[in-house]
Amino acid sequence: MPAKTIAFINFKGGVGKTSNVVNLGAVLAKTYQKKVLIVDLDAQCNATFWLLGHMERLRLENESQKTTSQIFRDHVNGTHIFDFDEAVIRGVPRSSAGNPHIPCLDLLGAHVDLLETEDILSSRTLQPYFTFLEKTLKPHIKGYDYVFLDCPPNIYNVAKNALFFADYYIIPYVPDFLSLSGFRAFARVVKRFQNQASGYKPKLSQPKIAGAIINKYKLVGNVFQNAVNELKLEMGDLRAQGLVHAQAAIIEPYIRDCSKMAECSNFHLPVTIHHNKALSAQDYEELASDFIGHFAQF
């Protein structure tokens, strides 16, 4: 089976995008023995910082040629510096002794240089800049079950590379009115880009928003459940308009608000390792099962 490449993207920040990538990826690799590659495309480097210890992060900060920013520099400058086998960090996170906690979970780290990449892609190339990520990484993902693209909170040039490369998109979502409004706008912007870029990849014109993951869920009155119900109605409307995939759905369960989740990034561990009895750890175990079943349909 070929790898399923999935972009986790939302142009609204603070919705749990990196948390979904790290924690879902960790459970798929640890519990289900799926081979997962996390590709950090966000200049904030949150997935990279979450999964690497202090010394590994320092090394990567000084070796930007081993990060995703080098992929774009190579295409712009006509160089071939990026080497996948040297850049990929296998078996993350690692213990203090350097042993991998999850041998099936790999990482391509990000660098703050990605901030400059946006300007470079806009001003220094006449090439179809949104194809660069796929051209570099596609030959290297055959051994993976899933490739998770952790996208920046926007739909600029780097994010468009993720949209072009990915087979499907997952929308991390916090159930409130502002997120619902953003979801509608996001679906339309994504479809516009897909139509514009479909000349380079005909299948791109097909709706690729395959689902949503609800984060920071609280069992407080009916406020959050009402917001979830509104999202379900909105997804049905967008499906009728051809703006999301025909099989698009909310992947369950919802990830509950949890203090252990809030602190696990400080320890550079996914919650399933940091505290596997936490509410959010239990939620991610169940979510991974539903995720596998959901994408088995595609």
Which of 112, 90, 100, 2 shows the shortest CA–CA distance to 38?
Answer: 90
Distance of alpha carbon 184 from its chain centroid, rounded? 20
- pLDDT confidence bin for 192, thresholds 50/70/90: very high
pLDDT tops 80 at residue 165: yes
pLDDT band at 65 (very low <50, low <70, confident <90, very high): very high
- Cα four-point dihedral sign 282, 287, 289, 290: positive
The residue among 142, 133, 92 whose CA lies nearest residue 7 is 133
pLDDT at 72: 96
pLDDT at 124: 66
The answer on pLDDT for 125 being more than 70 is no
- For the residues 251-267, what does the mean pLDDT come to? 93
Residue 14 has pLDDT above 70, yes or no: yes
Mean pLDDT within 140-150: 97
For residue 247, the enclosing domain spans: 4-295
User: Is the Cβ–Cβ distance between 49 and 107 less than 8 Å?
Assistant: no
SS3 168: strand
Give the model's pLDDT for residue 127: 74
Q: How many residues does the chain have?
A: 298
Tell me the average pLDDT of the chain.
Answer: 93
> What's the pLDDT score for residue 247?
96
pLDDT at site 295: 97
Here the CATH number for the domain that contains residue 259 is 3.40.50.300
Percent of the chain with pLDDT over 90: 79
And the tokens for 86? 């040297």
Structure tokens at 157: 């040039």
Residues 30, 32, 38, 44: is their CA dihedral positive or negative?
negative
pLDDT band at 179 (very low <50, low <70, confident <90, very high): confident
Domain count, the chain: 1
Residue type, position 71, single letter: I
Q: Is a pLDDT exceeding 90 seen at residue 175?
A: no
Q: What's the average model confidence in pLDDT over 250-277?
A: 94
Identify the pLDDT of residue 167. Answer: 97
Q: CB within 8 A of 95, min separation 6: which ones?
A: 101
Q: How confident is the model at residue 181 (pLDDT cuts 50, 70, 90)?
A: confident
Q: In the prediction, which pLDDT does 214 show?
A: 95
> 3-state SS of 249-261?
EEECCCCECCHHH
